């Protein structure tokens, strides 16, 4: 009797099959039905929803283990989450570019970090040709420098605390929005954009952290997102554009109130995952362009411009 036969009779290979099959089926379930995951303790389900695309790494490891040491059953089990992953993400990776002209372009950029200056950011922003620019996490002390550097290209602007909105077109009905934090986390303004007046929200929701003692700290962000969604739901404007750092993936249930009301430009016109953070090697998309009454004709994540986030440039036109 060979050594492998003895190992099989003791149940070694069936045991190895179980080690592949059980996590494979759990991964498939989490991919296809993330809403069934409990969010206690530590808001772990929200964290899982944030990193769903990265399940591909675990799936690859399972496939490698199944093909090198497992059985046919193990290989078949490992293919289940692969099929689920492909069903969810391959369309975004292979989507053809949307055709059609843009009426205007909007740029969303969290300028936080210490690797750049207002003057350098302004040069990069102007070079994009964007008609509308939402900047987040602007140091309060640097606001005058941004205003000076962007004034010629963007004669209309408004700022509140660390948020700013710059436009080539007139702004009115400017409103700083209290979303429950110590400072405004959103600005709303009506922009006389090509194609018709558009309510524009420049947003930076409260930050989140992963801590051993608390888990995924999303409470303030989720509360601010719910308050913002309530305001958007009551907004009478036929066209709504939200630009900013939502500090989360739209797959995260904490941002569901916004995701139900507005469409993502990335879903309409993007290709790939569109990761924006951290800028040096993005692993998650937390900077978003959300729409109502508008259609995204193009959207792309720009290269690292010196912040800890990458900017997002989106072409838009009114929905017919």
The 3-state DSSP class for residue 163 equals strand
Q: How many angstroms separate the Cα of 35 from the Cα of each of 38, 109, 256?
A: 8, 30, 11
Q: Contact 196/235 with Cβ under 8 angstroms? A: no
DSSP per residue over 198-267, as a string?
A: EEEEEEEPPP--EETTTEE--HHHHHHHHHHHHHHHT---S-EEEEEE-SS-TTSGGGHHHHHHSEEHHH
CA angle 253, 38, 248 (to 5 degrees): 25
pLDDT reported for residue 192? 98
Burial class, 190, CB count within 10 angstroms (exposed 0-12 / middle 13-18 / buried 19+): middle
Q: Among positive and negative, which fits the CA dihedral 261, 320, 198, 289?
A: positive
- 7 band by pLDDT with thresholds 50, 70 and 90: very low
- Answer yes or no: is pLDDT of 6 > 70: no
Neighbours of 97 (CB within 10 A): 10
Please check the confidence at residue 53 and state whether its pLDDT lies above 50. Answer: yes
Q: 67 Cβ partners below 8 Å, 6+ apart?
A: 75
Contact 289, 266 (CB under 8 A): yes
Checking if the pLDDT of 12 tops 70, the result is: no
Q: Give me the chain's average pLDDT, please.
A: 92
| DSSP-assigned letter for residue 101 | -
**pLDDT, tens digit (0-9, with 9 covering 90-100), for 60-118:** 999 998 988 778 899 999 999 999 999 999 998 998 877 679 999 999 999 987 778 99
Phi and psi, residue 8, nearest 5°: -65, -45
Q: Does position 8 have pLDDT exceeding 50, yes or no?
A: no
Asked whether the beta carbons of 311 and 305 are under 8 A apart, the reply is yes
Look at residue 14 in the predicted model and tell me its pLDDT.
67
pLDDT class of 11 with cuts at 50, 70, 90: very low
Give residue 13's pLDDT band: very low, low, confident or very high (50, 70, 90): low
- The helix (H) or strand (E) run that includes residue 269 is helix 265-269
What proportion of the chain, given as a percentage, has pLDDT over 90?
Answer: 80
From CA 42, how far away is CA 244, in angstroms rounded? 26
- Mean pLDDT for the stretch of residues 274-279: 96
Q: Does the N-terminal peptide bond of residue 278 adopt cis geometry, omega within 30 degrees of 0?
A: yes
For residues 221-231, average pLDDT: 97
Question: How many angstroms separate the CA atoms of 59 and 45, rounded?
Answer: 19
Instruction: Pick the range with the lowest mean pLDDT from 8-12, 20-24, 31-35, 76-80.
Output: 8-12
Neighbour-count burial of 114, counting CB atoms closer than 10 A to its CB (0-12 exposed, 13-18 middle, 19+ buried) = exposed
Q: Which phi-psi region, left, alpha or beta, contains residue 86 (left: φ > 0; alpha: ψ -120 to 50)?
A: alpha
Contact 173, 189 (CB under 8 A): yes
Closest to 151 measured CA to CA, from 129, 168, 135, 139: 168
Give whichever of 10-24, 70-84, 279-293 has the largest mean pLDDT.
279-293
**pTM of structure:** 0.91
pLDDT at 116: 81
- Count, residues in the chain: 320
pLDDT per position as a tens digit, 138-196: 999 999 999 999 999 999 999 999 999 999 999 999 999 999 877 889 999 999 999 99
Strands of the sheet with 263-264, listed across from one edge: 171-177, 186-191, 198-204, 240-245, 287-292, 263-264
- pLDDT-derived band of residue 315, with 50, 70 and 90 as boundaries? very high
Alpha helices in 51-71 (DSSP H): 55-69
Distance separating alpha carbons of residues 296 and 290, to the nearest angstrom: 9
pLDDT tens digits, one per residue of 197-215? 999 999 999 999 998 888 9
């Amino acid at each position: 009797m060979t050594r492998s036969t003895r190992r099989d009779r003791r149940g070694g290979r069936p045991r190895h099959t179980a080690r592949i099959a059980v996590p494979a089926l759990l991964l498939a379930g989490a991919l296809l039905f993330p809403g069934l995951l409990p969010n206690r303790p530590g808001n772990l389900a929200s964290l899982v929803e944030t990193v769903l695309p990265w399940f591909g790494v675990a799936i690859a490891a399972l496939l490698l283990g199944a093909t090198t040491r497992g059985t046919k059953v193990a290989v078949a089990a490992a293919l289940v989450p692969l099929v689920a992953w492909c069903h969810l993400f391959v369309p975004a990776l292979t989507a053809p570019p949307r055709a059609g002209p843009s009426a205007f372009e909007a740029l969303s950029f969290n300028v936080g970090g210490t690797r750049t200056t207002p003057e350098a950011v302004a040069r990069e922003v102007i070079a994009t040709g964007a008609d509308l620019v939402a900047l987040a996490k602007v140091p309060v002390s640097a606001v005058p420098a941004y205003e000076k550097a962007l004034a010629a290209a963007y004669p209309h602007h408004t700022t509140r605390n660390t948020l700013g909105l710059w436009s080539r077109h007139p702004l009115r009905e400017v409103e700083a929005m209290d979303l429950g934090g110590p400072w405004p986390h959103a600005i709303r303004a009506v922009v006389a954009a090509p194609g018709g007046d558009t309510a524009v929200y420049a947003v930076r929701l409260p930050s989140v952290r992963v801590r051993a003692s608390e888990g995924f700290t999303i409470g303030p962000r989720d509360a601010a997102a719910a308050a913002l969604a309530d305001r958007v739901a009551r907004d009478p404007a036929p066209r709504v554009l939200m630009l900013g750092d939502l500090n989360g993936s739209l797959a995260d249930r904490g941002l569901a109130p916004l995701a139900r009301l507005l469409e993502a430009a990335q879903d309409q016109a993007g290709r790939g995952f569109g990761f924006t953070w951290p800028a040096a090697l993005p692993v998650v998309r937390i900077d978003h362009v959300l729409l109502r009454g508008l259609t995204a004709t193009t959207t792309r994540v720009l290269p690292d411009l010196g912040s800890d986030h990458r900017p997002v440039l989106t072409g838009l036109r009114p929905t017919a």
